[in-house]
């Protein structure tokens, strides 16, 4: 069902829409984001960014929890996209069969004022972010950094 959960502060863009959706063979992208769920312009923009072959659904946490646990989704191939480690932990704790969390682009736009450590050119993590990722790993979920599928994978257990 859930092929991957992707942490990407830009949510849906070229890497997610074209590269990851094709690599994973998904037919649904579910964005779990409180702000996007109540912003019709942002929701529309996210839907337009996806290929025609992939349906995009933008939900808040409450609705995402219901949908991701609906047995009718078992036959779908789903990529869940969130914009923070906190939201990824929510999905990992509340959806069945989350096997992998992938971090692609996170932390460049430091809006919360927390000091962040540079992991690489695309990922900057604060202590709260690291704690969220450790909790995901403790759930038994593979957690890794990989910007695009043809790049090497960094297991987050080795850098936290």
Do residues 19 and 9 make contact, with C-beta atoms less than 8 angstroms apart? no
135 is catalytic: no
DSSP string, 110-146: --S----EESSSSBEE-HHHHHHHHHHHHTT-EEEE-
Q: Which residues contact 34 (CB under 8 A, 6 or more apart)?
A: 60, 61
In whole angstroms, what is the distance from residue 151 CA to residue 131 CA?
25
In whole angstroms, what is the distance from residue 9 CA to residue 85 CA?
10
Do residues 92 and 101 make contact, with C-beta atoms less than 8 angstroms apart? yes
Catalytic choice (1, 9, 10, 13) = 13
The residues carrying an active-site annotation are 13
């Amino acid at each position: 069902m859930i092929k991957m959960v992707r942490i990407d502060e830009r949510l849906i863009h070229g890497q997610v829409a074209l590269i990851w959706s094709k690599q994973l063979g998904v037919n649904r992208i579910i964005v779990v984001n409180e702000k996007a769920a109540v912003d019709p312009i942002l929701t529309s923009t996210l839907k337009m960014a996806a290929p025609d072959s992939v349906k995009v659904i933008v939900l808040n946490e409450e609705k995402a929890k219901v949908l991701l646990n609906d047995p009718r989704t078992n036959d779908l191939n789903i990529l869940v996209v969130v914009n923070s480690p906190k939201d990824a932990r929510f999905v990992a704790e509340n959806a069945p069969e989350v096997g992998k969390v992938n971090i692609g682009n996170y932390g460049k736009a430091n809006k919360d004022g927390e000091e962040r450590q540079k992991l690489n050119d695309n990922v900057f993590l604060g202590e709260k972010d690291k704690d969220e990722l450790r909790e995901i790993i403790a759930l038994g979920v593979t957690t890794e950094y990989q910007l695009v599928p043809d790049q090497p994978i960094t297991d987050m257990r080795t850098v936290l």
